[in-house]
Every structure is written in structure tokens, then in C-alpha cells.
Structure 1
């Protein structure tokens, strides 16, 4: 018996199917790291196989695009892990006080812009992963101009929320581009 079918093609990605296989009990740090890793993998999956299409906008007047999300999340990773928790002088890569929407507005189909966005995102994720692994505990703190004192625990929870929200956007953007849908 044939059942209902989906209107779009599901992502056919073996690695994507393993994104959410981490522990569901046990060590808090391990669970937070794994859920954030899965959210980061989801962003990569939603962007997989695309080139210039990554810069396609959602709908006027929005500047939202998959590439804009990559650039935005590179800046978000940089802010929380480098600036706030590590205390580095690391200004955003794609936005600024004079161009607060530069992460989205500057997301063009130029292959160099696409490559630079992915390189920045990978670099910031690698720094964050190394920082979290080396941190003595989840209660280490940093100072943020927006939230005040924040712990590594709060930053990890916030990053999971940030990716989850934007991965919802990525679902819709990807479906608009080529009809691909999925988890």
C-alpha cells in the first residue's frame, strides 16, 4: 500500500541522519556540545550542494538568505566565544555599528564572498569548539554589553537557540530554492 508522499524531496544525506544521535542523559557539557554540534550540522546540511543560490533572498523587502545566515552565525560565534568569553578584541567580520545588517546585505553570489563566509564560519566554529573543550567548567564567565555577566552554560544554550531559530529560516529558504525539505 502506498501512503501519502511529501510535496518536496527530502535531503538524502547519510551524515544528516546522524546529526541527532548524541547522548540524551548524562553529562550536561557533553549534551550541550552535542546539541549545538547537531544544530551547526543542520545549517551545513541546509546549505549543501548550493553555490550562488545561497545568496537568493527570501522575499522583498527582506535581505534574508542562506549565505546571510552563514555570515550572521559566523559573527554570532565570534561575538560570544572570542569577544565575550575569551575576552579578545575581535570585531565582527560582516557587520558593524555603521553597517549593522552587513552580514545579510553583503551576502552576494560572488564566489569569493561565498568562500569567505564559509571560511569565517568554519574558523569561528573551530575556535568555539576548542574554547569549550578547554574550559574548566560551564560556570566560567564573561562580560557582555547586552546581557552583563554570562556563563559558558548560558552561551551554549543561547547558541543552540540561535541556530535552531535560524535553521527554521534555512528550512524555508532551501525549500524556496530547490524544493528540498527535511529534518
Structure 2
């Protein structure tokens, strides 16, 4: 895969997928080499853990993919269980969360590669934070994933540095 500083010549779709992948990798690197116990710990004032962040972003990506595909999300949570998406539950591990994310990543890449145009739109779900009857494009979805993953990669960097001093940038 190309480095994100190298735009994929003439290929907006490839460039956007490259930036999504770069942010996925930032989250993965933050958890690399740690024990399951370390990745599930919450060493900062936040309730976030590295494993919980990986689980969350995988579920978020799947949710946006299913919205774009206009299909039901087979992993949707009940509103009262939203907090379960930020921590591992019984039987879950960082390894299983990463494997799940790999399958979601593959599905997202296949879908975006096959969609006729990044201008194709899909409806946003009813929510207080979205305008009523709004639609967004596939391009918007990819940019939203970059934003979502980058935000949580920053959280992951802080958690990792707190755990063992490892810094993402130097």
C-alpha cells in the first residue's frame, strides 16, 4: 500500500481508502505488542481502553457501511447498550476485535471499490444530530471514517503513552 503522503494518481477513491487505512493502522499500532490486560486497562481519566477503541471503531465502520449499503446492521446495539461498544465483554479479546475489524475493512473496501460513483448517496438515519431526511455521499462516508478513526487514534496514542511511554510520533 502506498504511503498516505503519496496521492494515488488520478484515483480519488484509492486516495480516500488509503487515508482510511492509514488511520486504521494508527489505532492498530497503538495496541501492538501489548498484553490483553494492558489493552483492556483504562490508565487515564477516561473510561477508554485500547481494546475498547478498536471494538468501537470496527462497529462504527460496520454501521456506516450498512447504512451506505442500505442494509440492516447485524451487529446493531440497543440504545441502552451503547456503552458496551467501548469495552470488551465476556469472551472478547483484542485479537477477536481486530479480526472482526479486518472483515469489516474488507467489506468496506469491496463495497467502495464496486460502487458506481463516490457521489452516490444514502439516507442518514433519524437522529437529533442529523437534519431530517438528509443524505450523504460515499465520499462523505469515507471522510467521516477518517475523522472518526483519527479522533480515536489520538485517544489511543495518549493511552499507549500512559501505559508504557511509547509515543506514536517520536
The TM tier, using the shorter chain, reads 0.7 to 0.9
Moved more, 151-160 or 141-150: 141-150
| Larger CA Rg, structure 1 vs 2 | 1
Q: What is the RMSD of the two structures over their aligned residues, measured on CA atoms?
A: 2.2
Show CA shifts across 1:12-34 (max 9, x none): xxx9xx75343176432222111
1:160 aligned to which of 146, 151, 160: 146
1:114 aligned partner: 94
Query: What TM-score do you get using the length of structure 1 for normalisation?
Result: 0.79
Show CA shifts across 1:129-161 (max 9, x none): 111111111011111214431110100110111
The aligned length equals 162
Cα 1:128–1:98 shift into 2, 3 Å: same
Cα 1:19–1:57 shift into 2, 3 Å: farther
- In 2, the alpha carbon distance for the partners of 1:30 and 1:118 equals 23
Query: What TM-score do you get using the length of structure 2 for normalisation?
Result: 0.84
Unaligned runs of 5+ in 1: 1-14
Unaligned runs of 5+ in 2: none
4+ runs of 1 displaced by more than 6 Å?
none
Cα 1:91–1:97 shift into 2, 3 Å: farther
Match of 2:62, SS state, is: helix
Moved more, 140-149 or 128-137: 140-149
Is 1:65–1:107's contact at 8 Å kept on the other side of the alignment?
A: no
The question of 1:135 aligning with 2:119 is answered no
2:104 aligned partner: 124
